[in-house]
Amino acid sequence: MLRVKDLTASIGETLILKGVDLSVGAGEVHAIMGPNGSGKSTFAHALAGRDGYEIGGTATLDGQDLLAMKPEARAAAGLFMGFQYPVEIPGVNNMYFLRTALNSVRRARGEDEVSARDFLAIADEAMALVEMKKDFLHRAVNAGFSGGEKKRNEIVQMAVMQPRLAVLDETDSGLDIDALRVIASGVNSLRGPDRSLIVITHYQRLLDYIEPDFVHVLVNGKIVKSGDRTLALHLEEHGYVDFVNDDLRAADRPLSGAAT
């Protein structure tokens, strides 16, 4: 589904992503972990098409060249990004925003627009996934929302958009354990054979709730280690110390604490 080859991203002279390779198959959940400043968020923004980066390499979604597309075309192709810092849009209510978003991608795909009534059913279902209160639809997008509400709103949006690939950027940051559970359960119910997930996180805690098929460690702009869930558990115990000091050879070395 998603194929990323030698992806680089820089701002001015600073190279942030130094050649990332990643393949995500249909229905798979991949976790990308890494210390602060390793390029995790940049990776998400590079896929979503944020302005301001110099991008190299290739990235395709279902064979379509993502990097050649505007952000809105990438959304129409089925890419969704859950923002680490969701943006406030005062005066625009969530209902209007969500329906515009949904109908924009449907129009771009040549599909019929969703009627007001059908939309309400879709929105109700999406809100129920993360226990969003009923007045949510009439409040302005993220304006005056608590941190937890903003993150839940991202999942509501994901549920409405029904993407092929969702990239969730630190969806767990700033959440207490109850909120984390609610959000994880919302995300889990959106898993399916045709939908892939990339979960970007700093802590393995989230992965207790959203179990990944693959875990990748991103350090200093490169994926230095890939493995299954146990890799995340290792990081939980030992931190990134194995990777940050001498990342280039890290993949070939036994991990700290591993039996020799």
Partner 1 sequence: MSETLRSIKEMSEASYEYGFSTDLDTDIAPPGLNEDIVRLISSKKNEPEWLLEWRLKAYEAWKTMDEPDWAKLNIAPIDYQALSYWAAPKKKPVLDSMDDVDPEIRDMFDKLGIPLHEQRMMSNVAIDAIVDSVSVTTTFKATLAEAGVIFCSLSEAVQDHPDLVREHLGSVVPVRDNFFAALNSAVFSDGSFCYIPAGVRCPMELSTYFRINSQNTGQFERTLIVAEDDAHVSYLEGCTAPKRDENQLHAAVVELVAKDRSEIKYSTVQNWYPGDENGVGGIYNFVTKRGRAHTDAKISWTQVETGSAITWKYPSVILQGDRSVGEFYSVALSTKYQQADTGTKMIHIGADTTSSIIAKGISDGHGQNTYRGLVKVMRSAKNARNYTQCDSLLLGSDCGAHTIPYIEVKNASAQIEHEASTSTVGEDQLYYCRQRGMTEEDAMSMIVNGFCREVFNELPMEFAVEAERLLSVSLEGSVG
- Other CB atoms within a 10 A radius of the CB of residue 53 amount to 16
Which residue type, as a one-letter code, is found at position 256?
S
Residues 161-200 contacting partner 1, CB under 8 A? 161
Nearer to partner 1, 39 or 49 (CB): 49
- Applying CB under 8 A, does 90 fall inside the site for partner 1? yes
Binding mask 51-70 for partner 1 (x = CB under 8 A): x------------------x
Compute CA 251 distance to the chain's CA centroid, rounded to the nearest angstrom. 25
Q: Is 39 in the site for partner 1 (CB under 8 A)?
A: no
Q: Does 105 bind partner 1 (CB under 8 A)?
A: yes
Backbone angles phi, psi at 7, to 5 degrees: -70, 125
Q: Tokens standing for 238?
A: 């030992």
Q: Is 103 in the site for partner 1 (CB under 8 A)?
A: yes
- What is the smallest separation between the CB atom of 63 and partner 1, expressed in angstroms? 20
Greatest distance between any 2 Cα atoms in the chain: 63
CB neighbours of residue 21 within 10 Å: 14
Q: Which stretch binds partner 1 (CB under 8 A): 47-55, 127-135, 180-188, 196-204?
A: 47-55
> Is residue 144 a contact point for partner 1 (CB under 8 A)?
no
∠ CA 58-218-251, nearest 5°, is 105
Nearer to partner 1 (CB atom), residue 168 or residue 207: 168
Q: Contact between 97 and partner 1 (CB under 8 A)?
A: yes
Euclidean distance between CA atoms 208 and 167, whole angstroms: 18
Which residues, at least 6 apart from 82, have a Cβ–Cβ distance to it below 8 Å? 151, 154, 155, 157, 158, 166, 167, 168, 169, 171
- The whole-angstrom separation of Cα 187 and Cα 208 is 13
The verdict on 136 binding partner 1 (CB under 8 A) reads no
d(CA 172, CA 5): 27
Q: Which stretch binds partner 1 (CB under 8 A): 22-30, 84-92, 169-177, 195-203?
A: 84-92
Binding flag, residue 99, partner 1 (CB under 8 A): yes
Q: Least Å distance between CB 189 and partner 1? A: 21
Residues that bind partner 1 in the complex, under the rule CB under 8 A: 48-51, 70-72, 74-76, 80-81, 83, 86-92, 96-97, 99-105, 107-108, 113, 140, 157, 161
